[in-house]
Amino acid sequence: MDNQRCQLDRLNPGLFNLGLNIGSISDKEQLQDVHLYLSTTRKEDPTPTVHNILECMIAYVENKRPLWKRKALKRLESILNDNPHHLNALADIETIYRQMQMNLHAEIYNTRKNEILKSNDPEHIRQKAICLLEQGYCILAEDADGYGEASKYCTAIKKLEYGLSMLKSKHDSDPTECIIWKYYVALAYMRYDRRIRVESTTCLSYFFEVIKYLENFDVEDKSFYIARSYIYIGWISIRDSLEANSINSFSGDFQDILQNPLEACERAYRKSPSDTVVLNRYARCLIKNFRRIENPKDTNDLELAKSLLEKSLTISPESNWGAYTTNIDLCQTWTKSPNIKMDDEETKDFLLRAVEDGKKCSKTKISEKDCVEIADICHRLARFPHKPHLQGVGYVHQEEYLYEASSFLHLGRIKGGKMKYFNSFQMGRCLSDLKEYRTAAEWTKRALYLSTPDKLWGSLQNLCWYLYSLYCIDADQDYLLEEILVLMVYGSSFSTEQTFIERMTKSMMKLCKEQLLSVVVFFNKSQYCTEPLYLNTMQEIKTFLRPNQRGFVEKTVVIPRDDILDEPFANSFSPLPKVELFDDSKKTYDFFLFNSCKDSGWITAHLLRQLEQSFDENEKALRGCVDRRDFQIGKSVIDNICNGISKSRHTLVILSPTFLEHRLNQLHCNSRIRELVEHKQADDEKAVIVVVIQKCTIPESLKQLECIDLTENTNMLQEILKLKSILLS
């Protein structure tokens, strides 16, 4: 009770303080779509429990348009005509009047609101509980697709549970009203479970409680909530593949339903055959159930899903986001199933209709997941009738679909979400088919850094192919072979698959044999031939080559490249003239790379191109000063280093065991380098940044600096983006 009292004491009525996503919409067409969606939801929900808050939400959207403010005020006033103590309406009217500079009008509603907030009258306490419940409902109603942030659903749960607890504490509370709010608590738990995959039994038990109460009492329009509860029970059961102990925690009829989730969907459909939410969710359950079957040959589930979606779109052809997105899912499932035979015309027609659904969806409401799915369909249409996994631009027949795919992927990145791996991977495929191999490789590197062990192979295979395509254009560029070598070793070092190197070797021998042999030859002549990690990987690769191929690559002479930049600096202690310090207006570079030459391949493959590449119109491409590319011939190494530090806004100290062995002495003991670094640090504490690329002990003198850790595959992209953000600041 103390917790609930504390929540009520902090109660802040109104929608303007909730941070709703619809508050950030400014596009006129989008506002009209949201207005239509909320109005439709208001009509679909048969009980008056949530009608007032939906009216508040509609007024909130109307207030976004200057000429509709009066319309919004009238809508809110009509709520107060029926319920003068409605806190959310009072608070929103006050806010709108203050926006219109009508403070005297606003103060009238502020006074009425505060009287209720300070009162202990039972009816006023009930209104405060309703205020909390309605605010929790708002968070759910604006995100019907369930792709919102987990933190928002957590907020919704807290508001709904506190409000419901207060409502129940009243001795004259209406049990039917309480059970309807219990349904929305269950819905909040379902959305929250979806985002963080916690145990689903809480929301299931709440939905069962709603069904049990409403079926035993004569409640008007009870079929709406019973049907919705059944359909969500079916969806949760299929989505989460409930374990036996979870199912056994229920009893009787409910346990039978959980063991056969499609029975729950069928009950929902019988209760409310015209409810578009039931129709769309039933179709999703059928699609998901079809995917769970090993080698499915019967298309009955998909046929039924198709007819349910057609019915849903007939009932509600406008703003039926759930039907559009489920249709896209149906298309992917049906056309990608290896056991379902479809002729080319039928398949293409299916794909084209899915793209049209995606375009309709994008005008109203679309998630990042949908954007990636539609982009994949566009990519398939560009190569149709060839299989999408076949490598090479020769399979592309309709290039315009690649541009459409790229546009959808861009829209997906704007939407944001958890699909960053798929978005990056798909972007690499599209750019490759447009012959933009270098950019395709950089996008695929992002996918590689985001890969889970089961996806690592696909990313690495495509990445090597794109670099090979570049090498075919310009075979004199050894840096491409070095890049491929570094990435192959990177992939094998992070893979948990025991046969990864064998699989990689055989695949590359099939796709690009000459490239693989060139990489092995390059390795034999490079500085990497004595590095244990590289040596072990290459030796294992050689075991999978044919005898004549092994003989060819082993004929090459091993001539490790001298690392002239890592020579000992015996004279570094003698005083040298000061280097001219450049002001910011003369800075040529965004960053200078202070690294061991033995790490140059890793830096080029993983770090440099990610920093120097623009992946979005809002993302700036940086310019770095790199030894092998930007040092001036004829100048001493020290002069080049000092010049690079002076002309760069930031200095990146690339930390690895080889750096500690060969270059740390320069940083500490050469007075010119040390003076430049200390001067940069004095001007900006983030001007010198340590970037750790291999596990090693960070020297005491560098521990106080900003540190970026690139040693872990799981956070590598996140750390690179963090570094880029610092360099741009």
> With the C-alpha atoms ordered 692, 694, 695, 696, is the resulting torsion angle positive or negative?
negative
H or E stretch covering 592: strand 589-594
pLDDT score recorded for residue 573: 34
Q: 706: exposed, middle or buried (C-beta count within 10 Å: 0-12, 13-18, 19+)?
A: middle
Cβ within 8 Å of residue 409, ≥6 positions away = 371, 372, 375, 423, 426, 427, 430
Name the phi and psi angles at 594, rounded to 5. Answer: -105, 100
Name the phi and psi angles at 59, rounded to 5. Answer: -65, -40
C-alpha distance from residue 406 to each of 24, 442, 523, 603, 616 (Å): 25, 15, 36, 28, 12
Cβ distance 302 to 334 under 8 Å? yes
Cβ within 8 Å of residue 258, ≥6 positions away = 204, 233, 237, 242, 246, 247, 250, 264
> With the C-alpha atoms ordered 322, 323, 329, 330, is the resulting torsion angle positive or negative?
positive
Q: Which residues pair with 652 in a beta bridge?
A: 593, 689
pLDDT score recorded for residue 75: 95
Low-confidence ranges of the chain (pLDDT < 70): 1-10, 144-150, 171, 193-199, 242-249, 364, 388-391, 417-418, 475-476, 548-586, 665-666, 668-670, 713-714
The DSSP secondary-structure symbol of 67 reads G
At what angle are helices 420-433 and 400-415 packed, to 10 degrees?
A: 160
CATH superfamily for 569-728 is Toll/interleukin-1 receptor homology (TIR) domain (3.40.50.10140)
pLDDT score recorded for residue 480: 84
Nearest residue to 212 via CA among 173, 186, 247: 186
pTM: 0.78
Cβ distance 58 to 38 under 8 Å? yes
Cβ within 8 Å of residue 71, ≥6 positions away = 62
pLDDT score recorded for residue 567: 40
At what angle are helices 69-82 and 87-99 packed, to 10 degrees?
A: 150
Nearest residue to 504 via CA among 483, 521, 526, 489: 489
pLDDT score recorded for residue 338: 76
Distance CA 81, CA 73 (A): 12
Sheet (strand 706-709) strand order: 624-625, 589-594, 648-655, 688-692, 706-709
Written as six digits, the tokens of 56 are 């508040």
Nearest residue to 319 via CA among 96, 70, 33, 19: 33
Cβ within 8 Å of residue 600, ≥6 positions away = 626, 627, 628
Q: How far apart are the first and last CA of the chain?
A: 48
C-alpha distance from residue 101 to each of 92, 104, 106, 306, 452 (Å): 14, 9, 9, 53, 54
Cβ within 8 Å of residue 307, ≥6 positions away = none
Compute the radius of gyration of the chain from its Cα atoms. 31
C-alpha distance from residue 246 to each of 265, 266, 267, 529, 675 (Å): 19, 22, 21, 55, 66
> What is the full DSSP assignment across 126-138?
HHHHHHHHHHHHH
Cβ distance 483 to 604 under 8 Å? yes
Distance CA 697, CA 712 (A): 15
Please state whether 228 falls in left (phi above 0), alpha (psi between -120 and 50) or beta.
Answer: alpha
Distance CA 129, CA 88 (A): 11
Helix (H, G, I), strand (E, B) or coil at 512: helix
Query: For tokens 């072990």, what's the residue?
Result: 536
The DSSP secondary-structure symbol of 607 reads I
